[in-house]
Structures are given as C-alpha cells and as structure tokens.
C-alpha cells in the first residue's frame, strides 16, 4: 500500500544567504511536516539564527524561497508573516515587563489581529471582553493564573518563557518557531519547559526548534536537521542523529 502523502507546512527551498564574501547559508533545503516538531541543531556559527531570520522575514535570502502552506513568505515583512500564521519565541523573552501577564497576552492577540502593536490599544484592553476571556483561559492553561495580575518583569525566567509561549499560542499560529527556548534556564526550569513543549506538541502544533541542549532536542523532536558551515550535513530521526558519526564529529562531540 502506498504511503499517504505528507502535508508539508514549511518548505525551505535552495536557500542561500551571503553577507559580502561570507556564505552564512548555502543550498539549504528543509521540509517541516504538519503536526511535527522539527529541530535544527549545529555548532556556533552554523547559520541557525540566520535561517530563522530568513523564515520570519528579518533577512532576505540571497537566493531561494520560503513557503508556508503553499504561500510564499520570501519578500514579505515580519508582521505580514506573523499574520500569515508564523509565531516566534526569541532566545531572550520578548515581553512588556512593566505590564501585567494578562495585558501581555491580550496585546499579543491584538498584534496578530491588527498587524502591529498600536499605542492606543492600551485604552481598549478592558473593553475587549472576548479577547480578555480567551487570554485568561490560555494563562490558566499555562499555569500562570496566580501571576495573572503581576508585572511580567517580576516573573522568574521559566515563567517568562511560559508567558511568551502563551503570547504566541493566543495567535493560533500555523507554525511555532522556538529560538533556544531553554537558554540560561536552571535544570528545573528546563525540565518544566520540556513538559510544556510536549503539551503544546500534543495539540498538533507544528514546531521548529533551534536548541543547543541535546536533552531538550531528543525529548521533543520528531526529526532533526544538522547545520554546519551553513549547510545541512545530516537529517533524520533523533535516534539516527544520535548515532551519526558525522554529527558527533561536527557537533555532538564538541558538547561533551
């Protein structure tokens, strides 16, 4: 019996990115399946962040294209790509520290709806009861109900990461991009973040994760692509990547 066709949510096709004479990315082809968690790993300087910035429109590829569900992302602005269904969690939590947890999540919903953050939105937060109700539910789901009225700047690093994930999920993205989500975390916060990512994954969310911590990668990824020198040198299941001598030499061995 023929294997059912796979639904590719994100397709990166023949992407190159050069900065003068420096080739940060070369011949990058990558296909992310719907409902899967696809990890991108590699040593420092491999091109991981450059690739993520190409996906979200912060950088224009020198050659190649990025496609989401058949729609071309290349050439579009970051806020347009966000409205098309791509949400990104940065290495350092991007929140409004002077505002409450609830206000942060509500503002994220407005940014997706309106295309950008608008200063006058603060005047209408309380009147938007539908969004407020949705935000409260997501905050409870993410275990932040006790902190709902706290200034987000006072949260622990682990709770800030939960808040940023809640801010992404209220946008109901087609694709969630995670840039080093456990960077700088304690072992306890890393463990709870892994559990949270597994919960998000169980909803059928399509995820791309860049991560240095191999325990995190092997705990959540369905497929792993390895970047080195701006090129993908290996791709496969976590078990295949763990056993690859090429990968051990290029990356995993350096971490030991």
pLDDT in tens, 20-48: 889 999 999 999 999 999 999 998 889 99
CA distance 172 to 167: 10
CA distances 8 to 23, 114, 172, 195, Å, are: 27, 28, 18, 25
Tens digit of pLDDT for each residue in 117-149? 554 555 555 556 788 899 999 999 999 999 999
Nearest Cα neighbor of 58 from 40, 36, 79, 38 is: 79
Tell me, what's the pLDDT at 134?
92
- List the chain residues with pLDDT less than 70: 1-5, 114-128, 251-256
Best CA proximity match to 36, nearest among 244, 248, 235: 235
- Domains, the chain: 1-75+207-256 (3.40.50.300)
């Amino acid at each position: 019996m023929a294997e059912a066709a796979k639904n590719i949510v994100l397709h990166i096709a023949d992407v190159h990115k050069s900065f003068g004479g420096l080739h940060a990315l070369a011949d990058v082809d990558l296909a992310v399946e719907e409902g899967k968690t696809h990890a991108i790993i590699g040593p420092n300087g491999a091109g991981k962040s450059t690739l993520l910035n190409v996906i979200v429109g912060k950088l224009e590829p020198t050659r190649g294209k990025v496609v989401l569900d058949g729609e071309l992302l290349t050439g579009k602005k970051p806020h347009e790509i966000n409205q098309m269904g791509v949400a990104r969690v940065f290495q350092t939590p991007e929140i409004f520290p002077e505002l409450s947890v609830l206000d942060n999540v509500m503002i994220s919903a407005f940014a997706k709806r309106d295309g950008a953050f608008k200063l006058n939105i603060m005047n209408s937060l309380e009147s938007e009861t539908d969004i407020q109700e949705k935000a409260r539910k997501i905050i409870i789901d993410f275990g932040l109900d006790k902190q709902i009225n706290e200034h987000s700047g006072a949260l622990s690093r682990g709770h800030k990461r939960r808040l940023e994930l809640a801010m992404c999920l209220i946008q109901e993205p087609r694709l969630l991009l995670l840039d080093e989500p456990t960077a700088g975390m304690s072992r306890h916060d890393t463990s709870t973040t892994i559990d949270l990512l597994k919960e998000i994954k169980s909803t059928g969310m399509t995820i791309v994760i860049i991560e240095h911590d191999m325990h995190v990668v092997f705990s959540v990824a369905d497929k792993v692509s390895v970047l080195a020198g701006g090129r993908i040198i290996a791709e496969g299941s976590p078990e295949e990547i763990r056993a690859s001598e090429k990968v051990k030499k290029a990356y995993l061995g350096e971490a030991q």
